[in-house]
Structure 1
C-alpha cells in the first residue's frame, strides 16, 4: 500500500499501515492522507482518509502515524555511552550507579528544531568522551518527569559527578555549543572525592514520587 502525504513525504509498504496507539489498521485500496496539523517528525495528530478510487473522503479522525525508525533524528549517530531513559526509576538508578563518571542529562523533544540541529555535535562530543555517560530524556514521553525536575526550556542539560551530585545545568544551542564543551572540560577531567554517587536531590525525588512516577521507597 502506498501512502502519499500532502507535505511531500511518501512511504510504501506491502502490509497495512499501523495507525494510532491502538494499532488500528487501514488496508485495501490506495489511500491518501490530508494533514490538518503536524506534531513533530513522526506523529500526525489528525488526518482525513481519502479513497482515491472512489474519489471521496472516508473519515476525519484523530490518529497518530509512526514513521520508520530511520526517520528518528534523535537516534542517529548515537554512541555506546548514550542511553535513552525509559522511566523516572531508570534515571534515578543510573545516576546512583554511575560512580565517578561524569553524567550528562540531555533533555530534548522530537519536535524541537534547536535540539535536532545540536544533536550531531552532542554525538561527536560523546564519541570524544567515552568515559562520560549521556542520558537522553524525551520531553514528549516524560513530561511529568521533566516538570518535576523543573525543565522549562529545550534543549537543556544537567551535569552530575559522583558524590557532588549536580555540578551545573544550562540551556545550550548550536550557536552556544562552546558552553557545553567548556562544561565537559571542567567537570569531565580528574577524579572527584570519595563517596557514593548523589544523583537527584531529595526534593526532586519527592516531586517524582508525588507525581506517581517513582516509588516512595526510593526516597531515603
Structure 2
C-alpha cells in the first residue's frame, strides 16, 4: 500500500537485494509505482532517493523525487522520523508569542480564567498583556516583556490573545494594542496604558513604581464590580457572577431641611420684589 506524505511516497517492498529483473537486472519492487519506474524497472531522469528500514515487521522503502544529473541510492532508517510525523513534531514551529516564555507567564483561556488568576494572585503584582498575533507592535515588544518577566520572577504576567477573546476585550474596553493593565492585591487595578517598543520606558516606570509597593491589606481584588457585571451580561462568554448584595447603612444621615431663618429671608425677598413691582405700576 502506498502512503502519501507531502511530496514523498512510502510503500512496502520485497527484498530487492536478492530479486532481480530478468530483462534489465535492476531492482525489482513488489509493486511498481507509475511515474517512478520505466519498463525495464530502472530509474528515470527523475531521481529517487531510496530509504529503507523495518516498520511493523515489514520492510519499508521511502522514495523522494529529485531532479539530479546522477543516479544514486541513500539508505537511512525512517522509523524514528515516522513516529515524529505521527506525533506532529516535524514541521511544527513555535509562534512568536510562544517563544521566550517564562515560568511566571501564563496564557489566559477564558474570562473565568482571567478572574480566577487575579483572585488567586493575592498581594502579588499581576500584569495583564493584551496582544494580537497580527500586531507588529506586539511582536516587536514581546521579547522585552519576556526579558522583564525573567528579571522579575515574583510577578505574574497574564497574556490575553485579542483574536481569540475579542468579545471579552470589547467588554473590558480594550481597543488599542498592545495594552497593559496592572493589578495588585486588594487595591485591584492600579494603572493601565498602551505602549510600544519606542515607549517601553512607560512600562518600566510602572513596573518600578508598583512592583516595590508594600503588601495590600484585605482580600484579593481583581476586576471592578462593573466589569464583572459586564462580563456576566455578555452572552458570548461562559461567565457567571452574582452581584454583591447592597447592605443598608446602619446609621443613615437624615436629609437637612431648610431652617426657619432661611425661609424668613426668602419671604422677605419675595415681599420686596412685590412692592417694587407695585411701585412701578
Question: Equivalent residues in 2 for 1:12-27 (5 A)?
Answer: none
Matched, 1:81 2:101: no
For 1:217, which of 233, 241, 258 is the aligned residue?
241
- Aligned equivalents of 1:188 and 1:163: distance in 2? 15
Q: Which runs of 5+ in 2 are unaligned?
A: 11-89, 245-281
1:101-142 alpha-carbon deviations (Å, 9 max, x no partner): 000000000000000000000000000010000000000000
1:25-70 alpha-carbon deviations (Å, 9 max, x no partner): xxxxxxxxxxxxxxxxxxxxxxxxxxxxxxxxxxxxxxxxxx9652
Look up the match of 1:150: 173
Which stretches of structure 1, 4 residues or longer, exceed 4 Å deviation after superposition?
A: none
Question: Equivalent residues in 2 for 1:25-174 (5 A)?
Answer: 69-174=92-197
Q: Does the residue aligned with 2:93 lie in a helix, a strand or coil?
A: helix
Higher strand share goes to which structure? 1
- Aligned equivalents of 1:166 and 1:68: distance in 2? 42
- Which deviates more, 131-140 or 183-192? 183-192
Relative distance call for 1:194 and 1:210 in structure 2 (3 A) is same
- Aligned equivalents of 1:217 and 1:197: distance in 2? 17
Matched, 1:208 2:231: yes
TM-score (ref. length: structure 1): 0.68
Question: Equivalent residues in 2 for 1:175-190 (5 A)?
Answer: 175-190=198-213
1:5-31 alpha-carbon deviations (Å, 9 max, x no partner): xxxxxxx9x9xxxxxxxxxxxxxxxxx
Q: Which runs of 5+ in 1 are unaligned?
A: 4-11, 15-66
TM-score (ref. length: structure 2): 0.54
Contact 2:228/2:241 (<8 A) preserved: no
- Deviation of the 1:198 alpha carbon: 1.1
Look up the match of 2:221: 198
